[in-house]
Amino acid sequence: MLRFSTLGICALTAAFGGSALPALADVVWSADGAHSGVSLSVSHLLIARITGAIPIVSATIVTADAETVPLLIDAMLDAAALNTGDPQRDAQLRGERFFDVSRFPKITFASERVFETGHGTFHVEGELTMRGVTRPMTFDARLVALRREADGKQRVRYDAVGRFRRSDYGMTYARGIVGNEVTLNVTIEAVH
């Protein structure tokens, strides 16, 4: 899948006279992969829950200068590194009946609209792409922390929760055994 970066899209938009997305005063944050990640959970046999982790390969967050609510959020996840703590289950989830990572090793999210819902909380609407399918996705998010490091760099942490139906992405195997609704819990710690 061809994917433009947020800054590339902004440059193209500005070059063709459209309304520029991030202005020169906007701040671009990059995810710290060691402190960022996505956990997923889904019901299993209607009683238990299967949980797993998917690493964030990259994430870019754009905020207005001196603001903490993002204007834009783009993220890429490494579906091929999905880990539930059970090697046999991980192999099955990475296989063609579920995430099909041999053909679709990455999952992407691109925000289309972010709006504040309260002090330090916001709603993110965008598109989630996995298994070659793109669908709308919504996250409820919040600012967890903003601090300045000893080296002068600023660091911000956001947490978000969203849900999708796996059947919307062609994952229909094991219906009745594995639930259809998947919850994503996202933590992004980013550096400016």
pLDDT digits (tens, 9 = 90+) for 98-145: 999 999 999 999 999 999 999 999 999 999 999 999 999 999 999 999
115: closest CA among 73, 172, 166, 83?
73
- Residue 163's Cβ-side half-sphere holds a number of Cα atoms within 13 Å equal to 8
pTM over 0.85: no
Q: Is residue 75 within 8 Å of 31, Cβ to Cβ?
A: yes
pLDDT digits (tens, 9 = 90+) for 43-101: 987 678 899 999 999 999 999 987 889 999 999 999 999 999 999 999 999 999 999 99
Query: β-strands 133-148, 121-130: how paired?
Result: antiparallel
**Residue 152 has what pLDDT?**
85
**Residue 1 has what pLDDT?**
37
**Residue 2 has what pLDDT?**
36
Which 8-state DSSP code applies to residue 88? H
CA 31 to chain centroid, in Å, comes to: 11
* Lowest pLDDT segment from 38-42, 76-80, 130-134, 151-155: 151-155
In the chain, where the domains are located: 25-191
Q: Is residue 39 within 8 Å of 90, Cβ to Cβ?
A: no
DSSP annotation string for 29-85: EEE-GGG-EEEEEEEETTTEEEEEEE-EEEEEEEE-TT--SEEEEEEEEEGGG-B-S
CATH 2.40.128.110 for domain 25-191, yes or no, is: yes
Residue type at 47 in one-letter notation: I
The encoded tokens of residue 185 equal 């819990």
